[in-house]
Every structure is written in C-alpha cells, then in structure tokens.
Structure 1
Amino acid sequence: MSDTDRTRQRRDDDSAAPGQRRALPVPDLSLVVLIGATGSGKSTFAARNFRPTEVLSSDVCRGLVSDDENDQAASGDAFDVLHYIAGKRLAAGRLTVVDATNVQSAARTQLVKLAREHDVLPVAVVLDMPEALCAERNAARSDRAGLPRHVIQRHQRELRRSLRHLEREGFRKVHVLRGPEEAEAAQVVTERRFNDLRHLTGPFDIIGDIHGCRAELESLLTELGYAFARDASGRAVDAVHPEGRTAVFVGDLVDRGPDSPGVLRLVMGMVAAGHALCVPGNHENKLGRYLNGRTVRPTHGLAETIEQLDKEDDAFRAEVAAFIQGLVSHYVLDGGDLVVCHAGLPEKYHGRTSGRVRSFALYGDTTGETDEFGLPVRYPWAEEYRGRAAVVYGHTPTPRADWLNNTLCLDTGCVFGGAMTALRWPERELVDVPAERVWYEPVKPLVSEAPGGADGRPLDLGDVAGRRVVETRHMGRLAVKEENAAAALEVMSRFAVDPRLLPYLPPAMAPCATSKEDGYLEHPAEAFAAYRADGVREVVCEEKHMGSRAVVLVCRDGNAAHERFGVPDGPDGALYTRTGRPFFDDPRTTDALVGRLRDAVEKAGLWAELDTDWLLLDAELMPWSLKATGLLRKQYAAVGAASAGVFPGALGALEAAAGRGVDVTALLARQQGRAADAAAFTAAYRRYCWRVDGTAGPGAQGPSGAVAHGPSGIRLAPFQILAAQGRSLTDVPRTAQLAWLDRLVAADAAPEGGSGLLTTTRRLLVDTEDAASVAAGTDWWLGLTADGGEGMVVKPVQARLRGADGRLVQPGIKCRGREYLRIVYGPEYTRPENLSRLRARHLGHKRSLALREYALGLEALDRLAAGEPLWRVHEAVFAVLALESEPVDPRL
C-alpha cells in the first residue's frame, strides 16, 4: 500500500451527533480545496478553522489584480495569482487552503495537478448547503445583492455531479458537510504525516539490506548491544537495547538469503514492540504484491522466499502481508536531521507524500540505460545532494559504506558474501559483521557509489555564490551577503591553500569594553566584568603573543592526509593565515614546520591518547614581521623614520631659541612629548620584528631548505587543539587544553645551540567573583605589558558556554597593552584629548562579528569531526571568510 493509499479516505457522509463536534482530519502538509456554491459559507468555515495566512481566496486575488473582488472578467488573472502563491507555499512546506467555488472539474483538476507537482496530498472539503440558504446569504451581502439566482442553481448542479467523482479526480481525503448544522459542528484537526517522525531523536542504529541473512542480522544486533527475546522454539522474535536505542531497517529484509521468514519474524516483533522502525524495500514491495494475489515474476530471489514462506502457516503469511502493507516509504527523524529510506531520496522529496516520492524511495532513479550486465544504470542523485539532512539508505550494494555528500549507502552486500553494516546515529559510527558465506552470486561485482571516496562531489560555485544562509548548531541561521561572498570568492579562488586542507578559519577576537581608567583605552577590569555579567566565574588569562594568527593541520603521514582529506600526492599538512592564505611561498618551509610539530605530537603521545592520525591546531606564528614586512616598511617604519628625521632638528631649534631667552616653554614641552610618543611607537613595533636565520624577510631558510630556529628563528605558540579524527575538541576545558599544549611544547626537540620551534603560552587563572583574584589578574597584565607586551586574552575555563539569555558567550576577550595600542591608534593616542575621542568607539558590530564567526567555526569543526563531505565543511569555512569583508573598524 502506498503512502497516499494509507491516507485515502472514503467520502464521509455521516453527520455528527447533535451537540457534538465533528473532527475533519487534514494532513499538516496538504492542499485543502474548499468546494461549494457561492454563499455556502466557505470563507466563514476557512476563517474558523485555518490561520489567515493559510487561506488563499479567489475573491481577494480578484481584488489584487482588478481592485474589484466581484470582477469576473479578472478571474483568469486572479487564479494565475492564486496558483502561483499556492505553489510557493507548498514548495516551502506550508499547509495551503484554496477558498473558491471549485465546483467545476476543470478548476479542481488544476489544483490536484498543483498538489502532485509539489508531492502533497489534495484534500477536498465540500460544503453542500441548501439553495435557499445560499441565496439568502448572497442577498444579505451588499456587493452581491444582485447575483442572479440561476448562478447559484448552476453551482448546485455542478456540485451534485462532482460529489461521486472527487476521489477519482485524485483527492486523497474527501469531507462532505451537508447543511449549516454539520458545517458549524465540523472542526479541522491537522494530523502528522506518517513519514514525519521528527520528534523521535534516537539514538538510532540504522541497519542496511538484510536479504534473508538472519544469522548475520542477529550477530550485528548482538554487536550493537541488543538482547534477544525468543519463542518456545528458540526463534528470535524481538530485540531490545538496554540503553533504549531504536533500530531502523532500510528495507530489503527478504529474498536471496537462507531465512527470510526468520528475518521477518524478528523485525516485525521489534517494530510491534516499539523497538524498531522499518521502511519498505523494493523486495518487500514485490513480496507484498505476491501475498495479495497479484501476478509477479518470482525472480531476483523471490522464488526462494516463496518456498521458505510455504513452510509457514497461513497466520504468519497474513501477518507478513499486513506488515508490508503498513510500511511507510521513508522517515524524517531527529528534528529533520536524518532521513531513512531504501533507495535514497533528494531533499525536495523529504517529508512529502506521493506515488512519485514512494517510487523514488523504493527504486531510486535510472538514466534509461543498461550496463554490460544488463542492469539499469542508476542516476547518481547522491553526487548532487546538498541537503541539510543526512540521508541513509541501501538498495545498491557497495564494497563498503562511504559518506557521499551527507548521504550513506548501508548495503554492503551481505547476501553476496560482503558484510552487514549499521550506522550508529547521532555518533555516525559504522559497525559491521562479515557474511557467513556467499549466499547468492552477484550479477556484477560490487562497486562503490562514492566518487573520490568520502570527499564526495567537487566543490561547486553554487555552494557559496550569492546571498547564503548557513545553518549552525550553536547560533541558528547565519546570513552571508552577496557582496561579502564575492569578496571571499576572490580570496579563496586566487590565494588560499587547497580547500581540502582548509577545514577551519579562526574567528575575529572581540575587544574588551572601553576603559574609563586614566590613561587606558583597554583594561582587564572590563573583561572580567563582562564575563561576570554572563555568569562565568572561572576564566584563564593567556599571554597574547607578538605574532600572526595561524592554523596548522598536521597529519601523521601521507596515508592519513589521503584518507581524511583526499590529497594523495600532496603535503602531509598545512600552515595558513586566518584568511586561508599559505604563510610561506616555499612549501619546504611549511613542510619543515609541520614536520617539527608532527615529531612533537609523536613524542608527547598525543596520537595515541587522542586516537587520531591528524590534528588541527590554532596558534600564533612569530615574529609578526614574517607576515607583515610590507606593512612594517610602508607604514610603521615610515612613521618612525620621519619622526627620527624631524624631531631632533625641531627640538634643537626650540632649545636654542629658549637659550636666547625666547619663551617657547609650552611649545618645547609639547614637541618633546610628541618626540617621546614617536620613540615609544617605534619601540613598540620593533618588539614584533626579529631576523629569521639572518634574514629580515619571511620564509627565510638555510641552504638546505630547513627552517632556522633558535632565539632569532621562527616560533610557534599553539593555544588550542581544535579537532582530531572523529571529534571536535572545542568543548574541552581550557585547563585540559593547556595541559596538552604544555606537553607538546616540552616534547619539541631543540636543535643544538638553539631553542625549540614551539613556545608556551603563559597563563593565570582568575575568579571573576573574587576581588583579590581579579586584582591579581590585573597586576599580571600590567606586568606583561609594562615592557611593551601585547597584552592578554581572557577566556572561560569551560568551553562553548551560554549566558543567562541562552546566547553563546564570547570564547575570548582581548585586552591589549597600553604601549601596544600605539601601533594600532597612532603614537599620540594616549594624549587626553585623543583618548576622550577614542572612548566613543563602537564595539557592537565587532562583537557580533566575533560571535557569528565563532559559531561558524564550531559548525565547520563539528561537520569535519562527523565525517561530512568537503563541501559541507567548506560552506561554513567560506562563510567565516565572507564575514571578514564586513565593514568594521580594523583597529578594534
């Protein structure tokens, strides 16, 4: 039985008992067509039972196109508008009600066609009212007082002719209300579609094609942790998981294998007990037709199933027939994040109900061609899939289960001697057991559907171009403007590293609130107060290094890089800036740095401890001059050189004038102050520059290409391990993160006569509700910045925190030192008049940007850890880069 047949309902002529409400069930996604003569009360019925936005009135549409709701000459245009709006609503998954007479078959035919185009059920609600009542109601309306009686009579005749044919026209539910009493007593009740189980959140164990392999099914359920209930004969009739997990079967329970009845008995028992769900496969569909007396060809293993069922009694065969008849084409589960079906399902069909949807869910789609084995060539729908929901299915046997664009085929050919595979959801963990033997020789060898392995389809311009909305777990829907996407595309396509090695971009850092402390623009008191206001008590203050933000991907070896990131002949890692650009032009420099980090990870024992072959780290690469040489020469050094050339002469002239008795005291003091500010500015930026291997430029190397380390070499300060194989580590508390990083730094081997590549990050724990602890944190910051240190970043000890309002808390607030801010705001920013002006800076946009980029970064890492395809990870990464082009004060 199809999904539409399950909801088919005979014309309902029964009246409600006097004084009782009569329920009219209507699917929550359907096209409801009101049918009745003018004056039958359709608009009143619609207003009483549906929301105003759900009802499309032909009269209102007539008014929209002609300014006169009764202008019949405008009916053609009015119905064009009505059908267009109805189509948009149905495409968006909205219940839609058409309020028009709809007594003519031609009008209803267009609406049934519209419902079919959008794979929703058409529902008819007929208001069959006496002619005299309709005439009386029309006479009471000032705009229709002159409506001829013969119009109502014609509507009544057409309605009577229609009543017997509504189901044949395609309506899946027909409700007939005769007389005003029945209409008044009727109440529409929306009902959930049979395939809509979004309220079930699991956890689930989704099991691939079984094909009569009962022993392997029992082995797999045992591996998954299920306990069996058996009948007196020892046959398994139910299986339950002690932790309440639900098994979900993707169909093809029968045919080809040795014990289809045993599989059916167990699965039917689990479904009846509420321990499992099951969707039909094409083999069940064919078996069901046979059991219902239809003529079918006993091919593709059906003959074996018929022979096995012939040994069972009539009651069991009837139970099997009823079970198959009650199966629903597909299920939407876990809040819409998971779709389970037999042969796969494009996003446009998720949650829809039609024969077309059921056919695709059972058989998939074909190109119309046949291969060399005489089998139909299946259309590769999964290669084009972009949906948010993961689609888990079977039907097409493959040698192993591989994710392809957020879809997963679990048919690993058990009956052909392969394996039986299950997916644990939401863990996304695959579990399989081998076949006991080859039970049925395959027609053709098993071939994977996933081109290029787990990476899925190539990146597509359509994934990122134009205005985009990215769904995130931690901040909902985040929009990316078209102009920002265009700017990001320019950077990503021309300058960025290989996108396969670019799984994350770090967010902007939120600045602390402007300080009112004398002489300070930023001060730790505001950072501590901000977290205290968010209910965050434990924070850690971390030294802010004098370098450039860097992300490092380090793989254990080339195999790991190939398996997860799909780079067969490329590097074993990557080192890139916060905008995705490689730090070094010469790849040998990157290879040497990544190699040193790989050795440190090995010696620290983190490969084994984190059970991974790759790590992604957030870090700071020093010196700043590695990245900012051009900026230093053209902007900062120019200011320093100009001040060094101007102020000595100017001060000498003023001092000479004072010596001659000229009153230049105020002017001399002012210029001396300016000279001191300029000298402080030069000293501030020089602390961020040192020579690498005797060379001032970036990417300096020795003669063999090895990176020079030591006091004047490149330094890397890792401050977070972001992700490992199968896991995002952004939820790990800061204290645990810092412990890992300390081990990593300690394990870094320094070359003879030099210091290591890795450097530690100094830190201090602070209790925001303890005044003494806050004072200690402030003193620590003052000590860091007294000699020109950049400052610190204050971070919550617990990760991914939410405030009292439920919103994400800033993952870090930067508090920059007084002298460092000279580089940002200019040499004389500390003068009272300048500080007063700068204190009016606006921080809201920067903070919002930091939080949005943080949420997108978390989303990218969650998708990466879940094994989702490249385009899904890249969508969130690209959005971070796009947001970076939003106009915001770069000094914040």
Structure 2
Amino acid sequence: MKIPELCLVALVGVSGSGKSTFARRHFAPTRVLSSDAFRAMVADDENDQSASGEAFDALHYVAGKRLRAGRLTVVDATNVQRHAREALVALAREHDVLPVAIVLDVPEDECWARTQARPDRDFGRPVVARQHRDLRRSLRGLAREGFRQVHVLRGVAEVDAATIEYEPLFNNRRELTGPFDVIGDVHGCRAELELLLDRLGYAITRDSLGRAAGAAHPEGRTAVFVGDLVDRGPDSPGVLRLVMGMVEAGSALCVSGNHEAKLLRKLRGANVRLTHGLAETMTQLADDPDVSAHAAKFLEGLISHYVLDGGRLVVAHAGLKEAYHGRASGRVRSFALYGDTTGETDEYGLPVRYPWATEYRGRAMVVYGHTPTPSPEWVNNTICIDTGCVFGGSLTALRYPSRELVSVPAEQEYYAPVRPLAPDPGGPAGSSGPDGSAFEGLDLADITGRRSLETPAGRVTVAAENAAAALEVMSRFAVDPAWLVWLPPTMTPASTSVQEGYLEHPVEALADYARAGVPRVVCQEKHMGSRAVLNVRRDGSGAVYTRTGRPFFADAAPLVERVVAAIGRAGLWDELGTDWLLLDAEVLPWSAKAEPLIRDQYASVAAAAGAALPAARAALVAAAGRGVDVGDLAGRFTAREWSIAAFADVYRRYCWPTDGLAGVRVAPFHVLAAEGANHARRGHEWHLALLDRLVAAEPELFTTTRRLVVDPADPDGIAAVTRWWLELTGAGGEGMVVKPAEDAGPRVQPAIKCRGREYLRIIYGPDYTEPERLATLRSRNLGRKRGLALREQGLGLAALDLLAAGAPAWRVHQLVFAVLACESEPVDPRL
C-alpha cells in the first residue's frame, strides 16, 4: 500500500481484527491515537463505553494538533459506523490533509475467537456480529464519504503480508534546491518571455520551423512559472510550446493559474464563458493543432503550488498562507489559484483582494502573481511578481535565492486592463523600512507573551512581563517602527579591580579577554555622550534614536541630511553598494540629550551639598574655637567637600551649550548594516578605519574615536594601554571600551567597559573612593550583567542578520523588542 506522507489514516475493522497490532507493526507509536487509550485516560478503563464521547473528543483534539503541525496521524478505532468516519473526514478537511482508510476485513469467526482470548473484553458475540454487518455495509461507500484512498485487506493473510510505503505529495519538491528563476504571469506574451529567458541566461532551443520549443540554463538553474501562461496575449500557443518543452526536459516547473484551470475546463468540453482572453486563446489554438493536441494533458498535470528548497520557498499562482503550505485539498487549490477576497467589489467591478500577505508570518518565501502591480514589492517575505506584461507593463523574474529581480518591458499593450495598472497617485502613501521596502505595521501577537527566540548565542527566552514592559515603552515613546531595526546591547564592566584606589582598571579589563583566549583587542576611547543609532538613506530620509528606541531629537532631519551628505563625500554609499546605512554612535555633549537628568539627578546633589557643607564647616570651626575636639569630624567634612567638588567637575566636563546642530558632535564607532550585509561581525579596525573617512569628510560634525590595538596578555601592551587610559581619564575622559579585534564567537563578551576613577563618582556617589565604601563596592556581582550582555548581543546580531537577508519586518522587530524586554531584568543599573 502506498499512502501520502501527510494524511489522516483511519483504521477500519471490527474488534479482534488486529488493528492495534497492525498499527504497532507499521507506524511509530507517537503517530497512533487509540480510542482504547483515550478511554483509559478519561475514565481509567479502556473498556468503559460510557466514556467514549469524552474519549473521542480528546482524540480528535490531539489529532487536530498533530495535523496542524503537519504530522501523519493514525486513528486506531473500529470506525465501522458512518458517523465515526464522517468526523475523521471532516477533521482531515479542516486541516487540508488527505483522509485515507485502511480496512482490515477479517472473517467474523476469527475476530470472535481473538476477542474470546482476551480477558479484558467482556462483551458478547452479538457486538462483533453487529460491527461486522456495519463493516460490510460500509465497504462500497468509503470513497463517496470523502476518503481519497481506500485500501482493503481481505483476510488474515493479506493483513499479515501488507507493507506500507509513503509517497510525497505532488507539491512536495523540497529536495529541489535550485537555484530558481521564478517567472511572473506571461499571458501569451511569447516574445517577452523569450527575451526574459535570454536575459536570465537560458539557451532557447527551436523546432524545425524556428519556434521556441524549450530552454535550459548552462548552470543548471530551474525556471518556475507562477501560472497564467495563456489568454489575452498574442501567442498563447507559443508560450505553451516553450514552457511545455522546458517542463518535459526538467529545466522548468509550472503551477496552475486560474486561466489554465479555465482553459482546461473548456478543452474538456465544459460550458465555459469565453471571456478574459479565452476566446483569443481558443482561436490561436485552432491555428496550432500541434500544441492544441498536447495542451490538455499538460494542463491536467499542473498542481496548485510547489514547496521547494527544504520548505524555504513556496510558489503559487495567487499566493498561499502558511497553513496551506504542502497541503492538499480543494480549499488549498482554490486559494492558490484565485486568492482570497473580502466579498466586496471595487469601483471597476472587480473583487477586492484580502491582504493575506500583511498577516503572513511563515518562514518560507512565497512568490506569486495573479494580481498585476506596477512593480514587485516585498511584504512579510512574500512578493507578487505579476507586473502586468500583457497590459503594457513588464515581465518579471525573481532569481532565488539571491532575491534579484530581472524584468523586460512589454513591446506594447496587448490587452486593456479593466483596472489601471498604476496605483492611484492620490492614494495614501504607505510606510517603508530602512531599505525602502513596504512596512505593514506590527501585530501585537508577534511581540507579546512569553516567547523563545533563536540567536547566534542560543535560544533566548523573553518573559511575558518583560515583553509587556518593552511594549509599554515602544508603544508610547518609540520612533516609527519601520526605522527601529536594532537596539544597542548592554555592556558589562571589567572585572572588579584589585588595584589600590580603583574599582575598574585596564589590567583587569585586558585580563578578562586574555583568559578567554582572545589574541588581539581594540581599546577604544569611551565618549561621554548619549548612545544613538543613526538609520539613514541615500535619499536624505532617516531616523536617529536612543538605546531605548526613542527619538533622539524632536527634528532629526537636519542631522540626517548632514550625515547622508558626509557618507556620500566619503564614498561609502558606492563602496558598500548600498542605499542605506545603520550606524552606532555617541552624540556629544551629554547635555544635548541628558540635560534634565543632569540638572535633576546630579546638579541638584552638588547644589544641595554646596549649600549645606559650608554651613557645617562653619559650625565645626565655631565648635573648635570653644575647645571642642572635632578634628576627625572636620576632616571627614573637608574630604566630603572635596569629593563633591570633584563630583561636580566630572559632569560639568560633559556639558556645553548647543544651538540646533551647533556644538553637537557625533562619534560613530560601528557600521552595523547596509543593503544585503550585516557588518556587525567585521573586525573593529575595519569599522573605525571606515568611519575615520566619515570624520574627514565632515570634521565639524563628526569626531574620531581614538584607540590602541594590543595583545591582552602582553605585558608591554598592558602597560601601554594603562598609560593611555590614565591620560584619557586624567584629562576628563570617561574611560575606554575594550573589544575583540575580530569576532570571538557568541560566548565571549562583545565589549567590556573600563571607566575612569573620577567618572565613577557620578555612578557610585561623590565619596565612593573612601576605603570602606570601595571595599563594599568590590563585592559587586557581574554574572547576571554578563549573561544579559551576551543575550542582548545575540538578539541584536540575529536582527541584523534578518535585516540584511531582507526578512519580513515582524521577524526583525521580535528580536528588537526582545532586547528592550531584557532591560527589565533585575540587574544593578550602576553596572
């Protein structure tokens, strides 16, 4: 027996016919759902017939879950009564799989003898006799009930000798990995098809009359036609001859379009209205009897859709939602050929298409046609490549997996469209992502609730409450999500220093990487400003946002324009082959973004201390004049005055007046991504060298990032970095960030910050350097912070990988939202 690889198998047979034994012999235990087992689950007794209703409810529920997941399912029950089988056929149809019946037609006497031999069976022979009569009445009607395959095994010998083979569904061509050239609706435009194939590199073969009869690619590429080969155009027979030759030779695949389905019905003699170009096709076929004689057989072999390349590519004429991929039913075929509609008609009398692609969340790329558009547009990993050739547009192919689009213009308008091909210029303009692709907005289901996401560092689980906190921030304060494609990960400090008077020191920062086996590190100047992500396009548009996704400026346009111009002068657009760039940077001064924070959280402390400490000192001086011994207390207050002065001096260094962009400096240090490329894994020396050219192109706006490159285990390197760090921090710098010079893998910290002794006063308090206070702070635990940094880095890299690959926006945003959700973890914010 050959059965489909995905189906619902109903074993049919009376008690004692050997169904359970047959199921154990031929199917994995996980695939078999036994009515006896479900009765035992709900009633502790597999023979309790009073529990059958509840047992079958549970069985059907589990079967539905398996079928939805695309898993073959076997139902082991008597199934001799029609109502029991109807429920299974309905379940198969609900999940668009084929129902298959395997009947064990064993003589009644043999069934009764086996039943008597089982001590757990206490019913009489009349039950077996009644089941046998029901079975006899059912045999002839199983196909009419909806079973697509019926296999009847007659007698014990046939049951024992039976074997089962699994057949792939016709649409399952996962073993074909391409590369493919998916070609849009041709509609009889033979000349344009030949030109497109030539441009794609196919060699066209011709018959004795010079007509195109096939084509093959010298590199073994396969053409895939999305259907609608015929009608409306000038040479439908010529298109059929060419495509049939390619399919027969194995250099092409083709799915059915609605026009092929209609033509086939006409060729079979059905009463079909000769509209929408069919009349022209029938006239053309009458003049080409050779094609006409073979067309029906070819059209009969066309299926609704193909699943290719391990399930990563799906081709269907009108598209296909994820639940239908690789399924077989009338409903699936109808969707693949005609799409889905809202039930309404537009002003031209045409059906309004339901925008299924905006809700698509599948991993497979879906390529389709059917609805002509002026140009192809990616929507959630789907693309319509019907660009209306027959209506005077163009004929388009998508090269897979490179995602390159190749088009040839129509020689003329062969058929006037009912609805204009070009969109209404007065219609609403949609939002677009950083690469200019369509952005259809977000769905709450994509980002809420507990979820587990795959990253280069392993799976990261986001708690539901953390996701809710991220959503609160994003929904109230974030920039347009179309621009929000990455968020900076948190960064861990160096291991706590044992150097006297220091909490963080270069010796420990470099030792962290030396222990991890990193051979070279880049020590970068840490600018004291506010972290900013710059997402800019060559056309002058863009966004600048903070590490929590909020707009950095009320109006970022002036800054974006200068950044875009500088990138052009530096030659980076052309060198990187992109029309957009994503940059990680620091915007200076700190007060440009954090002035309210500085005023309320830091300056207020200094002001209060400045008012209170002089009065306290005066009181101590007066007490000492009266002979009171306040020497120790006065010393502590004097030290505190010095600490407060040092504290105020620190934050004042990072503040200066600005007026618009006047006074604002940008320190870029990372070229994160560009069109088709995730640059985040490149070595940091490459990033900084490239960005030095940006600084040279616009020195009034950009500032360079000073750095040293050393071996973290080399004593001379350690000494050089220490001297450099002391100079930086002594001049008021925040400190440095140490990074592996090259990608060190997902288990190594991507960056370690080493902050200066004075800067840490604004983090840990003015007098944190007091010996007792410093001793307490040295017990800080960095483990949770380090784990968080690795998780957020993994999420960010995964988001950039998807962005570079052109993945749908919702998948990128799942990861971006997860980065912000991780920030709700209970970690000491001072770290």
Q: Determine if the alignment matches structure 1 residue 168 to structure 2 residue 137.
A: no
Corresponding residue to 1:815 among 728, 736, 754 = 754
What does 1:37-436 align with in structure 2 at a 5 Å threshold? Answer: 37-144=14-121, 146-312=122-288, 317=292, 319-436=294-411
Deviation, structure 1 residue 542 = 1.6
Amino acid paired to 1:817: G
- 1:582 maps to which of 537, 540, 551: 551
Give 1:341 deviation, angstroms.
0.6
| Offset of residue 368 of structure 1 | 3.8
Q: Does 1:616 align with 2:582?
A: yes
TM-score using structure 1 length? 0.83
Q: Within the alignment, does 1:885 sit opposite 2:829 as a pair?
A: no
TM score, norm. by length of structure 2: 0.89
Looking at structure 2, the residues matched to 277 and 655 of structure 1 have their Cα atoms a distance apart, in angstroms, of 96
Q: 2:477 aligns with which of 489, 492, 495?
A: 495
Q: 2:665 aligns with which of 707, 711, 715?
A: 715
Q: Are 1:794 and 1:813, in contact at CA under 8 Å, matched by a contact in 2?
A: yes
| Alpha-carbon distance in structure 1 between the residues aligned to 2:286 and 2:576 | 54
The Cα of 1:250 is off from its aligned counterpart by: 0.7
- After TM superposition, list the pairs within 5 Å mapping 1:337-736 onto structure 2: 337-448=312-423, 452-453=429-430, 455=432, 456=438, 458-460=440-442, 462-464=444-446, 466-467=448-449, 469=451, 474=456, 478-515=460-497, 520-524=502-506, 528=510, 531=513, 536-556=518-538, 560=539, 572-585=541-554, 587=555, 590-641=556-607, 680-688=646-654, 690-693=655-658, 701=659, 706-709=660-663, 714-725=664-675, 727-736=677-686
1:846 to 771, 775, 785: 785
Match of 2:735 in 1: 791
Count residues in correspondence.
824
> CA shift at 1:354, angstroms?
0.8
CA contact (8 A) 1:790 1:820 kept: yes
Unaligned segments of structure 2, at least 5 residues: 433-437
Partners of 1:335 and 1:477 lie apart in 2 by 22
* SS in structure 2 of the partner of residue 110 of structure 1: helix
Check if 1:759 corresponds to 2:703: yes
Residues 438-473 of structure 1 deviation map (CA, whole Å, 9 limit, x = unaligned): 223333322559974574575355355631647657
Give distance in 2, aligned partners of 1:105 and 1:619: 70
How far 1:410 sits from its partner (Å)?
1.0
Q: Which whole-Å deviations, capped at 9, do the CAs of 1:340-372 have from their partners, x for residues lacking one?
A: 110122222222211100111011123444445
**Following the alignment from structure 1 to structure 2, what is the Cα–Cα distance between the partners of residues 516 and 47?**
67
Q: Which residue identity is paired with 2:125?
A: R
Any idea what the Cα deviations from partners look like across 1:543-589, whole Å, max 9, x if unmatched? 11111101223344xxx36xxxxxxxxxx43322111222334x3xx
Alignment equivalent of 1:748, drawn from 673, 698, 705: 698
Contact 1:402 1:453 in 2 (8 A): no
Q: Which amino acid aligns with 1:849?
A: L
Q: Shift of the alpha carbon at 1:783? A: 4.0
3-state SS in 1 of match to 2:760: helix
Contact 2:449 2:468 in 1 (8 A): no
Q: Distance in 2 between matches of 1:633 and 1:345?
A: 57
Indicate conservation of the 8 Å contact 1:464/1:485, yes or no: no
Contact 2:431 2:439 in 1 (8 A): no
Distance 2:163 2:457 in 1: 38
In the alignment, the residues of structure 2 paired with residue 643 and residue 604 of structure 1 have an alpha-carbon distance, to the nearest angstrom, of: 49
- Structure 1 gap ranges (5+): 1-23, 562-571, 694-700, 750-755
Q: What do residues 490-536 of structure 1 show as CA deviations (whole Å, max 9, x unaligned)?
A: 32232223334434322222444445555554444555555566665
TM-superposed CA distance for 1:69, in Å, is 1.8
Q: Which sits farther off after the overlay, 448-457 or 293-302?
A: 448-457
Q: Pick closer, same or farther for the CA change 1:875–1:214 going to 2, 3 Å.
A: same
1:377-434 deviation digits (Å, cap 9, x = unpaired): 4333334434443322111222222233433211111112210011223333322110
| Structure 1 residues 846 and 176: CA distance shift in structure 2, 3 A | farther
Residue 747 of structure 1 aligns with an amino acid whose one-letter code is A
Residues 226 and 241 of structure 1 are in contact (CA less than 8 Å); yes or no, is this contact kept in structure 2? yes
How far the C-alpha of 1:664 sits from its partner, in A, is: 8.4
Q: How far does the alpha carbon of each residue in 1:194-214 deviate from its partner, in whole angstroms, 9 at most, with x for none? A: 323445444332210011222
Encode CA deviations 1:31-58: one digit per residue, 9 max, x unaligned: 2222222233323333343343332222
**Residues 474, 306 of structure 1: alpha-carbon distance in 2 compared, 3 angstrom cutoff:** farther
Deviations 1:705-732 (A, max 9, x none): x4322xxxx2211112333455544354
Shift of 1:330: 1.3
How far apart, CA to CA, are the structure 1 residues paired with 2:167 and 2:553?
60
Alpha-carbon contact 2:430-2:439 (below 8 Å) kept? no
Residue 12 (structure 2) aligned to one of 15, 35, 53: 35
Partners of 2:401 and 2:648 in 1: CA distance: 55
1:599-634 deviation per Cα after TM superposition (whole angstroms, max 9, x unaligned): 322332334434444433211011223333333334
Give the drift of 1:662.
9.5
Kindly state the Cα deviation for residue 435 of structure 1 after the two structures are TM-superposed.
0.8
